Amino acid sequence: ASVLSRPKISESEVESFARMANVSEEILRIIAGNRAWTKNYGVLVGLARNPKTPIGTSLNLLSRLNDRDVAAVSVDRNVPETLRQAARRKVVFGGSR
């Protein structure tokens, strides 16, 4: 967590942290809560596809992903089943739900 508070941390470093499956949920929650970092699409995809990201956070991020990435989440066995089902509904119904 102290690494994230460094002022010189780059977006590429944050993106790599968002993709890591061995970081704690708290770190992922901190990353998701920072608007400057979530403006980076790579960070969004990393958080959404990370199995340790809290499910509520992942569901909120799903609406900001493009169709190709939503389709990838809908078949990804590493993400929670709830997120996979939401992504599948979005793919099938075109995001109307």
Residues 6+ apart with CB under 8 A from 74: 84, 87, 88, 90, 91
Instruction: Pick 3 or 52 by higher pLDDT.
Output: 52
Query: Which backbone phi and psi does 46 adopt, to 5 degrees?
Result: -60, -45
pLDDT at 85: 94
pLDDT at 47: 94
pLDDT at 68: 94
Full-model pTM: 0.86
pLDDT band for position 1 (cuts 50, 70, 90): confident
Is pLDDT of 94 > 80?
no
Residues 6+ apart with CB under 8 A from 9: 3
Residue 83: C-alpha distances to residues 19, 26, 70 (Å): 16, 19, 10
